[in-house]
Amino acid sequence: MKVIIDNHLEASGLLCPEPVMLLHQQVRKMQPGQVIKVTATDTSTRRDIPSFCQFLGHELLTASEEEGTYIYVIRLGG
């Protein structure tokens, strides 16, 4: 089943804690069940974004890396 992306956060070039801070701001503007794709280059997002999802009850649908770019697809929890 194909996931529809409702929003995309481009955080490439930003360093910790900026990617997660921007993600938190963006998530506040969205509705539960919506999906956001995050693109980042900071290696700390490999730890920070899964922790963010777990702590706030969001579902990390995918986490991948392509040539130094980390891509996360997250479904917002309620």
**What ranges do the domains of the chain cover?**
1-13+33-63
3-state helix, strand, coil in the chain (%, to 5): 30, 35, 35
16 is catalytic: yes
The residue type found at 3 is V
Position 59 scores a pLDDT of 98
d(CA 16, CA 12) in angstroms, rounded, equals 11
Catalytic residue, chosen from 14, 16, 30, 71, is 16
Amino acid in the structure at residue 44:
S
Q: What is the pLDDT of residues 33-77, one digit of tens each?
A: 999 999 999 999 999 999 999 999 999 999 999 999 999 999 999
pTM: 0.96
> By the 8 A CB rule, do 5 and 39 touch?
no
